[in-house]
Structure 1
Amino acid sequence: MMQISSRFSMAVHTLSLISVSKDCTGDFIAASVNTNPVMIRKIMGMLKKAGLVEIRPGVGGASLLRPPGEITLLDIYRAVQLAGDKQLFRIHEHPNIQCPIGRNIEQVLQHELQAAQAALEQRLAQTTLSALNDRVQENESSR
């Protein structure tokens, strides 16, 4: 089974930390995510390009450019996950057009894949970073 890259969950983790912590540096985030700081810098660059964070040069640190209640999981997903063509699924290239399946599979499958992507995006759009942070707090409180 193909998986969506872990960049998405690392980006959500990163933005959650930034939204609840003061002076959130790349090293601090990398320690929490348990990954290399280089990976966090790459993700932070994507989040900055998407207009979700501001990164302070020099000493470092980052802050959100919008309130957590206005950032959805879909915003984060789009910042780090989608390819240039904005499609979650890719159809393999150059099927054998001499075969009836190869000749028609892309057209038939494309509709199903577009519906699946729309359902995923609709679900991600329903959850804000703030709501996710609230659930993290609830989980922590119930420990």
Structure 2
Amino acid sequence: MALHTDLEIHKVAEELLGLSLDLVRNIPRDLKQVVGAKIRDECLQVLVLIGRANLVIDGEFKVAAGNDYNTIAYDYHTTTPGGDGRVATIMAKRGEYPAGAHSTCTYGVQPDTDFDRYQWSPAQLWEIVSDVMLGQRVTP
């Protein structure tokens, strides 16, 4: 089976993104940020949807909140948020791998791409995890 990036529809969507970026360069300055961002985001979403549509589910298992599981590096998996929409995952990494972590999120949700876990102490990180897991503010 081919990778989604090898499919003709993905190649055309990449071309569309390129054309849209060229178009955005020529939008008047007062409209560029709002209109340009919307055009770019829509084209990127097409690429995301193509990738998601071509994900191959290789088995499925459910893990209830509070339980643990093992997975291999780069094995795609999902986590369903609880009632307030937040998720906290505690991982024990067993090695370093060249491609780093990969995440997807629902269209319209902006992930925190600037977060660096090394900027906080373990106590500060645990405060956030506790807050999410208990659904309330916890102070160490």
TM superposition score normalised by structure 1:
0.27
Structure showing greater relative contact order (alpha-carbon pairs closer than 8 Å, 6 or more residues apart): 1
TM superposition score normalised by structure 2:
0.28
Whose strand fraction is larger, Structure 1's or Structure 2's? 1
Whose helix fraction is larger, Structure 1's or Structure 2's? 1
